[in-house]
């Protein structure tokens, strides 16, 4: 059976900890004489993540190490979201969005609410992008998101549970440790595919 990307995370164990980082491309220039600043925000916005898995025995570690190796370094991709936030806090059960590349305010059609801090997914599989909602929204209207859209979306359904985006390993090196009790330690870093 051929390996098809993006891969799903193995389900044999959960994730012990995840650190998500929202990176913005912003330049700041400060005068050495007056200390006055000039700030320019570029369009670059990207998620990064660092994951640590729980200590595990060989049976579980085999699945994780095979998965990591199957990514072939930075070549393969996988789906990842905030593992501690599987549901939105709002009441919406379905929603659709429309917007063009570069939009951070997009049009939403829905019944119910999506609240600031909720994680949503736009698109599916290799087209999936992970976004954080920045302002509460009730019913149809404008939805403020981060990061901004990278491609045009026309009436695309939102995924409101287990929202994920497409990521790749941050390095071509894959490593894990094994202690004297044959307990495996696995951690890795990833960056969103932009």
Residuewise pLDDT in 10s, the chain (194 residues): 689 999 999 999 999 999 999 999 999 999 999 999 999 999 999 999 999 999 999 999 999 999 999 999 999 999 999 988 889 999 999 999 999 999 999 999 999 999 999 999 999 999 999 999 999 999 999 999 999 999 999 999 999 999 999 999 999 999 999 999 999 999 999 999 99
- Tell me the helices (H) and strands (E) count for the chain, helix number first: 1, 15
> Cα-flanking dihedrals φ and ψ of residue 137, to 5°?
-135, 130
Give residue limits of the domains in the chain. 1-81+167-194, 83-163
pTM, full prediction: 0.93
The predicted-structure confidence for 42-98, as pLDDT tens digits, reads as follows 999 999 999 999 999 999 999 999 999 999 999 999 999 998 888 999 999 999 999
Given CA atoms 38, 42, 47, 49 in this order, what sign does their dihedral have? negative
CATH architecture of the domain 1-81+167-194 equals 2-Layer Sandwich (3.30)
CATH topology for 83-163 is Elongation Factor Tu (Ef-tu); domain 3 (2.40.30)
pLDDT number for residue 85: 85
Distance in angstroms (rounded) separating the CA atoms of residues 137 and 189? 32
CB-based contact 172:76 (threshold 8 Å): no
Neighbours of 140 (CB within 10 A): 13
């Amino acid at each position: 059976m051929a390996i098809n990307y993006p891969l799903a995370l193995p389900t044999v164990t959960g994730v012990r900890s995840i650190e998500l980082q929202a990176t913005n491309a912003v330049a700041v220039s400060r005068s050495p004489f007056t200390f006055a600043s000039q700030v320019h925000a570029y369009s670059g916005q990207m998620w990064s993540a660092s994951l640590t898995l729980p200590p595990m025995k060989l049976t579980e570690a085999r699945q994780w190490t095979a998965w990591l190796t199957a990514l072939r370094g930075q070549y393969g991709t996988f789906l990842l979201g905030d593992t501690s936030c599987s549901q939105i806090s709002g009441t919406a059960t379905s929603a659709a969005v429309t917007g063009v590349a570069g939009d951070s305010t997009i049009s939403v059609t829905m019944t119910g609410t999506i609240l600031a801090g909720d994680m949503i997914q736009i698109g599916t599989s290799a087209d999936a992008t992970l976004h954080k909602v920045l302002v509460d929204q009730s019913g149809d209207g404008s939805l403020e998101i981060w990061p901004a859209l990278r491609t045009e979306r026309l009436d695309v359904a939102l995924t409101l549970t287990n929202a994920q985006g497409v990521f790749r390993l941050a390095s071509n090196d894959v490593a894990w440790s094994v202690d004297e009790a044959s307990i495996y330690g696995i951690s890795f870093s990833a960056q969103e595919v932009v």
